[in-house]
Amino acid sequence: MDTLETRELRYFVTVAEELHFSRAAERLGIAQPPLSRAIQQLERRLGVALLERDRRGVALTDAGRVLLDEARALLDSAAAAARRTQRAATGANRLVLATKAGANHDLLRHLLDAHAAEPGAAEIEVVLCGMGDQARMLRDGRADVAFMQRPFDALTGFDTEDLLTEQQVAILPADHPLAARSSLILADLTGRPDLPVARWPRQDGTYEPGPGPEIHDLSQLAQLIALGHASAVLCASSRSWLWSAHVAVPLTDAPHVTTVLAWPAHSRSQAVAALVKTAVQL
C-alpha cells in the first residue's frame, strides 16, 4: 500500500466531521464528484469501508473512526512541522504560550517575570484562547507550551510540570442570597432555576445537556453572572478578574484543580527546556 497523502486525509477528515459530502465539498472548496472519488479511492487502497452510505445519510464505520483519530493526529503533526520549521528559519528566540483567557493571571505573570530575568531568555508571546484550545494549538504547532488544567484538559501526548493546585469556587452575583455564605457545596448550585450553572464546551465543541447557558468566552460569562442569569464553578485564581458585581464562594466538596505547564513530548527545544526550568524553580 502506498503512503497516505495529507490531501486525501484532509478530505476524509472533513467528510467524517460533516457526515455530508455536499457540505464537506463546500468546506473544502471543491466539487462533490472529485471528493467522492477521492474517498472511494482511499477505501480501495486501504481495503476497508470507511463510511456507510444510505438514504439516511453518511456514518463512520469502526475502521473509519480509527482513521479519523489517526488522520487528525497526522495532519496536526504535519502542520506543526511546517510552522515550527518556518519559525526556526527566522532565527528568533521566541516561544508561543497558550492559555485560557482569565486563567491563573498571577501565576502566569510571576512565571513570565522570572523567565525574562534569565540571561538569553526567549521572548514569550502569550496567546489567549478558548476552552480546550490549548491541546489543539500544541499539537498543530501554533503553540510551543501551554497552561492546562488537570483533570479538565486532555494531557495525553504532552510532558507536563505541575505549577499550582487550588480549590474551586462558585462565582455568583453579589446580590444573590448564596453570595453571603462563607462556603458552599456543589449540591447548593444544583437544580436552581434562578441561578443555572453556565456550561462550557467540551473538547469536541459540544455541550453537556442542562439548563445553564452555553458559554463561549469569559466576557460573556462575566456579563451573565453580573445580570443574575448564571453562576459558574471555576478555580480560586479566577478571583483576579472578578467584577464588583461578582462574589467567589469556596466549594468545599469540589475536586481540586492543578495547573500544569505542558509541551509536546517530542520537543527538543532548548527554549522550552529553559522555560520549564524556570517553572520548576518557581
Residue 204: the pLDDT is 65
Residue 91: the pLDDT is 65
CATH topology of domain 168-250: D-Maltodextrin-Binding Protein; domain 2 (3.40.190)
Using 50 as the pLDDT threshold, list the residues of the chain that sit under it: none
- For residue 255, say if its preceding peptide bond is cis, omega within 30 degrees of 0: no
Beta pairing partners, 159? 263
Q: What is the DSSP string of 61-85?
A: -HHHHHHHHHHHHHHHHHHHHHHHH
Question: Angle 58-61-63 (CA atoms, 0-180°, nearest 5)?
Answer: 140
CATH topology of domain 6-82: Arc Repressor Mutant, subunit A (1.10.10)
- In CATH, what number does 92-163+257-281 get? 3.40.190.10
For the segment 140-152, what is each residue's pLDDT rounded down to a tens digit? 889 999 999 998 8
